[in-house]
Amino acid sequence: MARTAGSHSDITGPKVRDAALTLFARHGFAAVSMRQIAREVGVQVGALYNYTPDKQTLLFDLMQSHMDALLEAFSDDPAMPPRDRLHNFVRFHIRFHHDRPDAVFIAYMELRNLTPENFTNIEALRKRYEDKLEAILRAGVSSGVFDVADTKIATLAVIAMLTGVNTWFRSGGRLSLQDVEDQYWQMVRKAVSAESPA
């Protein structure tokens, strides 16, 4: 029952990741030292290296976990009408990103601090997520309910618009997350919908 004194791998591991996530988001990867992370966790700097081979891998693992969770959490039903699938995507994207602002911030801002191999890996995951939205838009264009000149551009435009919510929205203000979801959905829906003939 009694553990080795000072042994806490099951609890320290997550704390290292949490501390790194918070600090990297607040100050930036390059500006955060391993000593700062250790202080936040409550251990000495040497102990961190039981949980990550180096600082770069720590960053990469955080980004990969985030992208994996994103891909895992999104579900889409190709049998549904494109409009409903898009509505589902908009709500999901806003809510998922709102729930983890630090991870989102890091995943977008620290790409340049990844080694080339790690960068390629993360970009592939991002591409897989974009492809899910593009499939929805393409289905809608095929059936005539959507009208966009280029589904790839529309995909990037919609994702940029939705992710932008994280730069200004925090719960507890004048608007609820539901309000935000509703308003962005109206804008996205109109932006990609086919217009009724004049």
Partner DNA sequence: GTCTATAATTGGATAGAC
Partner DNA sequence: GTCTATCCAATTATAGAC
The angle at the Cα of 191, spanning 187 to 194, to the nearest 5 degrees, equals 130
* Interface region with its own copies, contact rule CB under 8 A, candidates 39-47, 60-68, 87-95, 107-115: 107-115
- Quick one: 150 exposed, middle or buried, by C-beta within 10 A (0-12, 13-18, 19+)? exposed
Q: Is the dihedral of CA 86, 156, 185, 75 positive or negative?
A: positive
> Whose Cβ is closer to DNA: residue 14's or residue 81's?
14
Rounded to an integer, what distance in angstroms lies between the CA atom of residue 7 and that of residue 12? Answer: 9
* Interface region with DNA, contact rule CB under 7 A, candidates 53-61, 69-77, 97-105, 157-165: 53-61
For tokens 């959905």, the residue is 185
Nearest approach, Cβ of residue 31 and its own copies (Å)? 4
Residue from 21, 103, 141, 188 that binds its own copies (CB under 8 A)?
188
Rounded to an integer, what distance in angstroms lies between the CA atom of residue 188 and that of residue 87? Answer: 9
Amino acid occupying residue 99: D
String of contacts with its own copies for each residue 125-164, x by CB under 8 A:
-----------------------xxx--xx-xxxxxx-xx
Nearest approach, Cβ of residue 33 and its own copies (Å)? 11
**Residue 157 half-sphere exposure, CB side, CA atoms within 13 Å?**
13
Q: Which residues of the shown chain bind its own copies in the complex (CB under 8 A)? A: 26-31, 109, 112-113, 148-150, 153-154, 156-161, 163-164, 167-168, 175, 180, 182-184, 186-188, 190-193, 195-196, 198
> What are the residues binding DNA (CB under 7 A)?
4, 6-9, 12, 32-36, 43-47, 49-51, 53-56
